[in-house]
Amino acid sequence: METTIVPSGWARADTDALREAVRKLEGTSLVVQLADLVGTPVEKLLDWVPEHARDAVHNAARTALEKGFDVAMKTVGGQSAGEPSDRLHQALATVSGAVGGFFGVAGLGVELPLSTMIMLRSIADIARSEGEDLVDPAGRLSCLQVFALGGGSRKDDAADTSYYAVRAAMAMTLREAAGFIAERGFVREGAPAIVRFLSQVATRFGLIVSEKAAAQSVPVAGAGAGSVINLMFTRHFQNIAHGHFTVRRLERKYGEAFVREEYERLK
């Protein structure tokens, strides 16, 4: 049996931080939380979204991510060791959620880009607090990657939706997109590498947006529940971001192979 070589400097605090990251990244899915909130079984939740509205939901998710990409490339940058402003962003998302709750699926085209932008700023804030270099295109794209890490269908196989499995599936598209941006600048139109990356994120993000829209479409929801659902939505992606950028910080310090082995052991 191979003996794991613990790198120099690895401390109890690192184990505790990684354990908390595992809890956030592999914990209860958002769709289960939403089903508990509205009192509707997971299997029936999506039935509340009319068939004709599902394409609109996915289109809204894609548009929100494209706008988020533009914002990330133009305004997200720098480094900071300060604490992230999670509560401020939660409050802003709660207000925007009232719009979606009041208008239901019809309001998603207005509310989702706004709430996605709020979440992206929060994710970047969390990334900076963990020492991520957001001047680097790969660091910025890692913020958008959070929307894929926190998405997925309840029907997916657990082995395909684990944190490292999703990262591995996205590794090539992220690397190609980051390389393109580093070489040619922040261009989205006509850039296949960026289109592939955004499509991969949008596919997974669209699933969780559908589940959010379904919860807001339940008759008992409304504007008040829309605010609560958006708060849950924001907290979910903040948790994913905290976990993701904790793992990336530890990988930069101790190497990906060791951190991944410890992650799997703790999981």
What is the Cα 48 distance to its own chain's centre?
24
* Secondary structure letter of residue 107 according to DSSP: G
- Residue for token pair 């379904």: 214
Query: 67 vs 42, 147, 218, CA distance in Å?
Result: 30, 13, 28
The number of C-alpha atoms within 13 Å of 144 and in the hemisphere containing its C-beta is 30
Domain spans, the chain: 15-266
Stated pTM of the model: 0.84
Alpha carbons 7 and 105: distance in angstroms, whole number: 50
CA torsion sign for 173, 178, 179, 185 is positive
For the chain, helix, strand, coil in percent to 5 are 80, 0, 20
- Residue for token pair 């914002």: 71
Per-residue tens of pLDDT for the chain, all 267 residues: 455 678 888 999 999 999 999 999 988 677 777 777 766 665 666 666 666 667 777 788 888 888 878 777 776 665 555 666 666 666 666 655 555 554 555 556 667 888 888 888 889 889 999 999 988 989 989 999 999 997 654 444 444 568 999 999 999 999 999 999 888 877 666 688 988 999 999 989 988 888 777 777 665 545 456 677 778 888 899 999 999 999 999 999 999 999 999 999 998
Residue 94 host element (H or E): helix 86-103
